[in-house]
Chain A
Amino acid sequence: MVSGSRQIPAAPGPASSVADAGGAGSAGQSAEGEDRLPATQPFVEIRNLRKSYARGAIPVLKGVGDTMSKTDRLVILGPSGGGKSTLLRCVMGLETIDSGAITLDGRNYIECLSNGRTFVDRTVQRQVGMVFQHYTLFPHLTVLGNLILAPVKRNGEKKGAAIARAEALLSRFGLISKLKSYPSQLSGGQKQRVAIARALMLEPKLMLFDEVTSALDPELIAEVESMISELAEGGMPMMIVTHDMGFAKNIATKVLFCADGVVMESGDPETFFAAPKIKRTRDFLASILRGTKV
């Protein structure tokens, strides 16, 4: 379990267990990108991202830009309605955008074209995994069925091979006894852990977590957070939106403070939590400490 004091070290080198998350056959994958990247090139780069809903009537992201390196775990904080979920959804390729671009591993995979359409490179998009605040397991499939659906149907993986990988993954995260359970038979914490495992089956290079514990009863939060921490220790690059400041402090290597659709402040967690540069951030942190949600 995540204790308040434990700090997760920055991700080790590329040969770490990022690939282990998905099981065998991917050992080279994470190393490959690292070799290709010059040290200065960010792993993820978001450039001038603008996004509105209702055809421009509701502007949400108003020119967001930031970068993240391969060893980073980017925690996105900010008041409700500030655009955190929207930002992650854009990175996942779930939303059309009004301007800007996002690159992963040096490849422009989401871009607003000159004709205003949003281009999404599906092959790169597949290297990104996401887990949501709401439960999204498919209720008609067992845990195993949920895990192997995309690998078998989308990637054409042999069913036997996918099942073997799924079993390995479920064992690793203490879920093997739930293999044949349906989502309705799982606790909220188990549902979210299975959802994480389902995303890991596709061997993502980047994981996105959008408030994955906020629908959970307090006693179930730790098991999900510790699973994410374990992935972090294995070197998985991730972006995390959370309202849990303890968890944020433990896991972050970089913090982004997002409000009113812009990045107000970004930097290393020590500075951010100890000595925030701008007043808005200080107010936000103070309100969280007081326990009031902004």
Chain B
Amino acid sequence: MSGYSFDFFYVLNGFSRLLQGLIVSLELTAIVVGIGTFSGFVLALATSSRSLFLSVPTRLFVEIFRCTPALIQIVWFFYCLPVLADVFWPPFTMGVIALTLNLTAFNSEAYRAAIQAIPAAQRDASIALGLSRWHQAIHVVFPQVLRIASPVLVSNSISLFQQSSLVAIVSVEDLMYQGKLLAVQTYRPIETFTIVALIYFGLSFPISQLVGRIERYNARLLA
């Protein structure tokens, strides 16, 4: 042991601030996951399109977001977008935009694999039933790929929840941001960040355990 004596007193005094921050983190995550779960599907349709006008730019988009650090994406939106596009939105909005695009890109890859798993015969049947391409996408393909891809979608969403802590850099007052403030004010960074980490873990772990259950349920239904 290093001999460090833990003292959680001051940190626990500031616990309500951490909770406020947590609410911001959860809001951010909920909005981003809510949008990204659907937009990832739409993007996957575009990337698997036979039209090069659709597939090439959208694949490029996906690769840009997959191959650059999320931290840079957030910082870029916060500092560069206002200059380039002359828009000044609050940090929270910028965070939502950057993380939504990031999650959309990752989710679209999960959906793309799932779309390929759907038998072509279902497409024929949909046409024979007179369903439009959009109806087919929404009522036939989406409900199935949502299930097939759900293990990956859930773990993407958990990662997103962790990565949402990066928005603290651009002063969104999330859990991480409040944690940093508290650490400085209490001079107790070890205790503070331990608690912050426990909060992230406590919320993420149960959800990650859902993945196995979802897989078993899907295997039964889509057999």
Q: Which residues of A contact B (CB under 8 A)?
A: 89, 92-94, 122, 125-126, 128-130, 132, 134-136, 138-141, 149-150, 153-154, 182, 184, 195, 198-199, 202
Tell me if B84 counts as interface (CB < 8 A to partner A).
no
Query: Is B223's beta carbon under 8 Å from chain A?
Result: yes
The total number of A-B Cβ pairs within 8 Å is 67
Bitwise, B124-148 to A at CB < 8 A (1) or not (0) is 1101111110010001100110010
Within B209-223, which residues are at the interface with A (CB < 8 Å)? Answer: 220-223
Indicate which residue in B122, B135, B144 contacts A136 across the interface (CB closer than 8 Å): B122
Given A140-B221, A149-B139, A153-B135; A199-B122 close (CB under 8 Å): no
Q: Which residue of the partner chain A has the closest CB to B222?
A: A139
Q: List 30 A-B contacts (CB under 8 A).
A: A89-B124, A92-B127, A94-B127, A122-B130, A126-B130, A128-B128, A130-B124, A130-B128, A132-B125, A134-B121, A136-B119, A136-B121, A136-B124, A136-B125, A138-B144, A140-B144, A140-B147, A140-B221, A140-B222, A149-B131, A150-B130, A150-B131, A154-B129, A154-B130, A154-B132, A154-B135, A182-B221, A184-B221, A199-B128, A202-B129
8 Å CB contact of B144 from A135, A139, A150: A139
Chain B proximity of A198: nearest CB distance (Å): 7
Q: Does more than half of chain B's interface fall in helix, strand or loop, or is it mixed? A: helix
User: Complex Cα distance A194/B24, Å?
Assistant: 49
With A134-B119, A138-B140 as contacts: A202 and B125 at CB distance below 8 Å = no
Neighbouring A residues of B143 by C-beta, 8 Å = 140-141
Which of A125, A139, A195 sits near B221, CB closer than 8 Å? A139
Residues of B within 8 A of A (CB): 119, 121-122, 124-125, 127-132, 135, 139-140, 143-144, 147, 220-223
Contact B130 A202 (CB under 8 A): yes
How close is B139's CB to chain A, nearest CB, in angstroms?
6
CB distance from B121 to the nearest CB of A (A): 4
> CA A184 – CA B143 in complex, angstroms?
16
Asked whether, in the complex, the Cβ of B125 is within 8 Å of the Cβ of A149, the reply is no
Interface centre among A128, A129, A136 (most CB of B within 10 A): A136
Which residues of B have CB within 8 Å of A149? 129, 131, 139-140
- Asked if B222 and A184 make an inter-chain contact with CB atoms under 8 angstroms apart, the answer reads yes
Chain B's nearest CB lies how many Å from the CB of A228?
A: 16
Specify the chain B residue showing the minimal Cβ separation from A89.
B124
CB distance from A146 to the nearest CB of B (A): 9
A82–B140 Cα gap in the complex (Å)? 32
Chain A residues with CB below 8 A from B129, complex form: 149-150, 154, 198-199, 202
Q: Point out the residues of chain A lying under 8 angstroms from B131, CB to CB.
A: 149-150, 153-154
CB distance from B146 to the nearest CB of A (A): 9
Q: B128 → chain A, closest Cβ, in Å?
A: 4
Closest Cβ neighbor of A153 among chain B residues = B135
Contact partner of B122 among A89, A138, A153, CB < 8 A?
A138
A269 to B119, CA, bound (A): 36
Chain B residues in 8 Å Cβ range of A128: 128
Contact A132 B121 (CB under 8 A): yes
Q: What CA separation (Å) do A92 and B130 show in the bound complex? A: 10
* A-chain residues with CB within 8 Å of residue B147 when the two chains form the complex: 140
A94 and B128: CB pair below 8 A?
A: yes
CA distance A191 to B143 in the complex (A): 20
Known: A134-B121, A136-B125. A125 touches B130 (CB 8 A): yes
